[in-house]
Amino acid sequence: MDLYEHQARELFEEHGIVVPRAEVTDSPKEAREIARRLGGRAVVKAQVKTGGRGKAGGIKLAADPAAAELTARQILGMDIKGHTAGTVMLAQPVDIEAEFYVSYVLDRATGGFLAIASTEGGMEIEEVAATRPEAVARIPVDPAEGVTSAKAAEIAAAAGLPPQTVDVLVRLWEVLVREDALLVEVNPLVRTRQGRLLALDGKVTLDDNARFRQARWGAQQDEHHDPLEAVAAARGLTYVKLDGEVGIIGNGAGLVMSTLDVVAGCGARPANFLDIGGGASAQVMADGLSVILSDPAVTAVLVNVFGGITACDAVADGIVQALDTVRLTKPLVVRLDGNNAARGRAILADRAHPLIQQATTMDDAADRAARLAAA
């Protein structure tokens, strides 16, 4: 789960990293009051979990409380790359002398963590990394050792950062470890004209697998922008809404992704990603079907199940039972293969529902579903 900037700021502050004074609100009127408390001038920042806020007009400087209210009114509700700004953070402006970049991130290649640091912080850091890699230091961190002052000094020296950043580097590592984060990024870490070091903006990605031991974030869920996604999530289904017309149900993330690709290869567009997982009980199948059938964009449904651990006759039973609770209104193409496939196909054939047809291969099933969707 990604945190909002203001949540990341809060974490940094708790771990002793200095951040600008700031407050969050969803009300333009309150924004005016906050600006007053901050001394008049304020930077108004859209709180969305995506990059490129500045370029999209989601970050603006307000000269006084009245301007802060107006600016907050403009930014609240703004759409930035599909994310709606539900709140704004107002922060006290700082006099920037230098902008640095520091982060710790999981390095899949080594199965460890990397410290990344540069004296050229700011919005263009990815471009700096691509065009002048020597300007960005990448130092592996031994997770068993962690980031001690000595290690932090090594990172700072490698990046050419001033020695005063050592303390921030040590504390940022503590955020990573204590919060079970996969990424902690401060960009920019600024030095003010007064010589203070502040984390001006940050990004934190927490590990969803660690919810069971992270009391504070454990209960918090990522928001679902799509109402169907919210319904599916409430039923424990892994569902992602897409723009197409072929509803898709399958077992296993890899096979479902592959099914989307094969449907797209047949010239149709998948309406969703839905993985019913290994168990595939009748209830899960019914829940999945009802979510997909309630999507008005869906004109045909493809069920693609490979019986590995799951037996296909159990899946077929699930579909038949689902028909008792869900009224099938759109054509359904079912492909069952693998364990007990013959028995599963026989069960569906016996049910003889006029809207259900069977295919024996994935490619054939996708082709039929695509043609039915277009019909």
Partner 1 sequence: MAIYLTKESKVLVQGMTGGEGMKHTRRMLAAGTDIVGGVNPRKAGRSVDFADRAVPVFGTVREGIEATGADVTVVFVPPAFAKAAVLEAADAGIGLAVVITEGIPVHDSVAFTGHARTKGTRIIGPNCPGLITPGQSNAGIIPADITKPGRIGLVSKSGTLTYQLMYELRDTGFSTCVGIGGDPVVGTSHIDCLAAFQDDSDTELIVLIGEIGGDAEERAAAYIRAHVTKPVVGYVAGFTAPEGRTMGHAGAIVSGSSGTARAKQEALEAAGVRVGGTPTETARLVLETLEVRGDTVRG
Active-site positions read 101, 185
Q: Which is nearer to partner 1, 27 or 258 (CB)?
A: 258
> What are the distances in angstroms from CA 63 to CA 203, 227, 279?
26, 39, 58
Footprint of partner 1 on this chain (CB under 8 A)?
A: 2, 51, 101, 103, 105-109, 111-114, 116, 125-126, 129-130, 136, 138, 142-144, 177, 180, 182-183, 185, 187, 203, 205, 207, 209-210, 212-213, 240, 242, 250-255, 257-258, 260-265, 269-270, 273, 306-309, 337-339, 361-363
> What are the distances in angstroms from CA 37 to CA 10, 33, 34, 336?
18, 6, 5, 64
Q: Is residue 339 a known part of a binding site?
A: no
Cα(125)–Cα(67) distance, rounded to whole angstroms? Answer: 30
Q: Which is nearer to partner 1, 60 or 203 (CB)?
A: 203
Q: Is residue 218 a known part of a binding site?
A: no
Q: Which is nearer to partner 1, 194 or 209 (CB)?
A: 209
* Shortest distance in whole angstroms from residue 210 CB to partner 1: 4
Q: Is residue 195 a known part of a binding site?
A: no
Q: Peptide bond before 163: cis, by omega within 30 degrees of 0?
A: no
Q: Which is nearer to partner 1, 199 or 326 (CB)?
A: 199
Q: Is residue 99 a known part of a binding site?
A: yes
CB-based contact 304:281 (threshold 8 Å): no
* Shortest distance in whole angstroms from residue 328 CB to partner 1: 25
* Shortest distance in whole angstroms from residue 50 CB to partner 1: 8
* Shortest distance in whole angstroms from residue 346 CB to partner 1: 19
Q: Is residue 187 a known part of a binding site?
A: yes
Own/partner pairs for 4-11, CB < 8 Å, 24+ apart?
Answer: 4/47, 4/48, 4/49, 4/87, 5/45, 5/47, 5/89, 5/201, 5/202, 5/203, 6/47, 6/87, 6/89, 7/204, 8/184, 8/202, 8/203, 8/204, 9/89, 9/199, 9/202, 11/175, 11/179, 11/204
* Annotated binding-site residue numbers for substrate: 251, 308-310
* Annotated binding-site residue numbers for Mg(2+): 187, 201
